[in-house]
Amino acid sequence: MKKILISGIVVGIILFIFSILSLYLTIYLLPSLALEYYNPAFKSNESGDILYFIHPFIVSFALAWFWDRFKSQLGKSFWVKDLEFGIIYSVVATLPSMWIIYSAMSVSLEQVFTWFFYGFIQAVIAGVVFARLNP
């Protein structure tokens, strides 16, 4: 349990930093995509901002538990484990979420793809850290 908590906190901090960097990179590299967030489909009040900043920690603890439970079933190589972990998370959790979001909300396919890719990268980053802290 201690390994899950420690690795979850570490990954939460790393994913928090990654989320802030991703936000600014999106604005800088994909400004037209960033403009889509002004769509009324998204909340425009500031009261929900804290939820955005808590998200990396929710993801990190869920992934920490998942890693601890299934790490023995992943590949043997360090990098194969991380990549396989990212793929499993993406297919099991992110893909179905993106499917329903795209079908129910007025968002572009490009935006949904970037969210999917972001979730995959989050899981790979988490896998790298978990492989070091909780092998």
Q: What is the pLDDT of residues 66-119, one digit of tens each?
A: 999 998 899 888 888 889 999 999 999 999 999 999 999 888 899 999 999 999
| Per-residue confidence (pLDDT) for residue 113, from 0 to 100 | 94
Q: What is the mean pLDDT of residues 36-40?
A: 78
Block residue for tokens 């990190």: 60
What is the rounded CA–CA span in Å between residue 9 and residue 20? 17
Q: Give the pair of three-digit tokens for residue 10.
A: 């570490």
pLDDT > 80? residue 44: no
Banded model confidence at residue 135, pLDDT cuts 50, 70, 90: confident
